[in-house]
Amino acid sequence: MSHRRIPKRKAVLAGAGAVGIAAAAILLPQANASQSGQDDDRPTVRTMTAASAAQTAKQLAGSLGDSYGGAYYDAGTRRLVVNVAGKDPALAERVKAAGAVAKTVRNGAAALAGATRTLSAKAGVPGTAWAVDPRTNQVLVTADRTVTGARWDRLESTVRGLGEGVAEIRRSKGEFRPFADGGDAIFGGGARCSLGFNVTTSDGARGFLTAGHCTVAAQQWSDGNGAVLGSAQESVFPGEGDFGLVTYDDPAAEAPDEVDLGDGQRLAIRGAAEAAVGQQVFRMGSTTGLRDGQVTGLNATVNYPEGTVTGLIQTDVCAEPGDSGGSLFTRDGDAVGLTSGGSGDCDAGGETFFQPVTTALAAVGATIGDGEQPPGQGQGGQEGQDQGGAGEEDQGQGGQDQGGQDQGGLGQGSEEGAGQDQEAGAQGQDAGGQGHESGQGDRGADLP
């Protein structure tokens, strides 16, 4: 059953969350996308930021129709690779004219969408998830360790029935669940969650976004010192997303458009951005500190024990209980997602799913940051492209320094869990609800 509370006032989200944790400084390895796909050296192919690539892919998806077979960002070459089903040269030229690499594949949009509908109808059992993997041009189906016996047979039979080369099953060692233990110092109804991004409502009040499975648990939320922060105004979980909005009770609440990175470092959030497969992203969470990885799938469906959630971002960023609701973002300060759940841990790895920030904002009629789209997200989307190596989205050598701040130190910051764990996250928390630090979040990272 989907829980949705409509706010008394229409919310316009604008701002970014500050949920910091103590983080030790370690070098974070650069995460690069797969180099698969043909490399077209024609002059029309352009290097792009991940933000530009996401916007271009969205435009081409509408232009190519059923021949569109997905797209991914190759971080190594800084190019967008677009899958085109069939051998129509006009479609490939359309892709190249947009500055992307055209790759001929077997499965188009209709075949992939039909496969996901079949999976939902016949194999939507708890412990399964699926998303289109554009790098293999297949639907990647993941089954956690609870899917055994008749449920495994049912899943395997459904995938086999889709036909050769349409879908692939893989096993996850963990168990799909919303991450619900420990986090970054917001508490409600015996649960502990993480603040994601600060927001501004349509009447100028301040609030924040977090996971919907947090806000369905309680109406009122407090910081680690017991001070009441605010009340939940809207919650979606399960169903078409996993997000919630909480507004601050204090009209003068200090809620900067930043993510607290720990150790006195902060990252300004400039706006919300669409995710792109192959894009490097960073997650803040008080249990596991700063972690990075890649986006591996979009519009993912996850069958949690509590119900099915659709429209999520799939990543290989690790997470553990205590990281729910927290911020997913880029080094440039683009808000991308809110931690939902997944499997595995930061020792063995696993899959983690995130609520797209753009979808959450659209659902409540919202903006974030300054309300402007990041470079490459507007119409045309080319102002963020790197034509000569400068201004690239930090996938190349070196990190950026903004205003003297090291954009490393990105720690994790958000999650929910048992109220008994409050002491683990209470130390070092700011009474205003910002800059919370968890005693467990000591595995941070500096960006390269």
Could you say which DSSP state residue 237 is in? B
The Cβ of residue 145 has, within 10 Å, a number of other Cβ atoms equal to 13
What residue type is assigned to position 194 of the chain?
S
Q: Which residues contact 171 (CB under 8 A, 6 or more apart)?
A: 142, 143, 144, 145
Compute CA distances 419 → 180, 271, 410, whole Å. 10, 32, 26
Active-site residues: which are they? 213, 242, 324
Scanning the structure block, which residue is given the tokens 């048992």? Answer: 418
Residue 350 and residue 12: Cα distance in Å, rounded? 34
305 close to 311: Cβ distance less than 8 angstroms: no
Residue 231 and residue 224: Cα distance in Å, rounded? 16
Label residue 349 left, alpha or beta by phi (over 0 means left) and psi (-120 to 50 means alpha). Answer: left
Phi, psi torsion values for 158, nearest 5 degrees:
-65, -45
> Is the peptide bond preceding residue 89 cis, with omega within 30 degrees of 0?
no
329 close to 293: Cβ distance less than 8 angstroms: no
Residue 287 and residue 414: Cα distance in Å, rounded? 9
Give, for 139, the enclosing helix (H) or strand (E). strand 138-143
Compute CA distances 22 → 19, 211, 218, 267, 341, whole Å. 10, 22, 27, 15, 22
Give, for 110, the enclosing helix (H) or strand (E). helix 109-122
Residue 129 and residue 114: Cα distance in Å, rounded? 16
Could you say which DSSP state residue 345 is in? B
Give, for 352, the enclosing helix (H) or strand (E). strand 352-356
Residue 247 and residue 175: Cα distance in Å, rounded? 32
Q: What is the CA radius of gyration of the chain?
A: 21
The Cβ of residue 398 has, within 10 Å, a number of other Cβ atoms equal to 8
